[in-house]
Amino acid sequence: MANAYSPVRLIVPKRFSDDRGWFMEVYAKPTFAKFGIDCSFVQDNHSLSVPAFTLRGLHFQTPPRGQDKLVRCIRGRIFDVAVDIRKGSPTYGQWVGAELSAENGWHLFIPIGFAHGFVTLEDNCEVIYKCSDTYSPESDGGIRWDDPLIGINWPISASTVPRLSAKDTIQPLLADFDSPFPYDGRPLAPLA
């Protein structure tokens, strides 16, 4: 596990390998609780992004239907990002990101109060993630993926235009967002 104080966590599970392949425990509630991740997951999502540089995000659900997310890539490679959108946070508008891949098996835990997004780094990427609440259209929210105030350093060349949903092309800027998420006293820290 990464920085035990930061609300966003990079999780590097141990793989047990032999000549047949490998085995990895993906999620165990008691193990995660020891590291301060003590939510209950109630929905699993699975996405396929066919073209490389498909960008999904930055998404969240507002209270009372906020979602903690546990994200991993099971095919291909993605750059996964969390942005602090908790009102009053000293790290408000700051982001962290990590490359998740089928090869490395890493997970990113994104708690309520953070916007989430990812870009695929190759064709045919599959991403699965657990959520602590079910999808709620009336609570669905987002921030622009390319908001200059946030300044995410997406691993996309200047000549590449990412593939976006219609919804993601019109998301508001952070400056136009009135956050309903309270700050819990834990500032965002770099991922280890």
Query: What confidence tens digit (pLDDT) does each residue in 111-160 have?
Result: 999 999 999 999 999 999 999 999 999 999 999 999 999 999 999 999 99
Residue 59 designated active-site? yes
Has residue 75 been placed in a domain?
Answer: yes
At 110, the amino acid letter reads I
| 102: in domain | yes
Q: Which one is catalytic: 5, 27, 129, 183?
A: 129
Burial annotation 128-137 (CB, 10 A radius, 16+ → b, else e): bbbbbbeeee
Q: Is 168 helix (H, G, I), strand (E, B) or coil?
A: helix
In a domain, 89, yes or no: yes
124 part of a folded domain: yes
Residue 141 lies in a domain: yes
Q: Determine the pLDDT at residue 36.
A: 86
Taking the whole predicted model, whether its pTM rises above 0.85 is answered as yes
Asked whether residue 109 is domain-assigned, the answer is: yes
Set 5, 27, 46, 59: catalytic member: 59
- Is 3 part of a structural domain of the chain? no
Residue 1 lies in a domain: no
CATH of the domain at 74: 2.60.120.10
Task: Give the chain's domain count.
Answer: 1
Range of the domain at 143: 9-15+24-176
Identity of the residue numbered 124: N
107 is catalytic: no
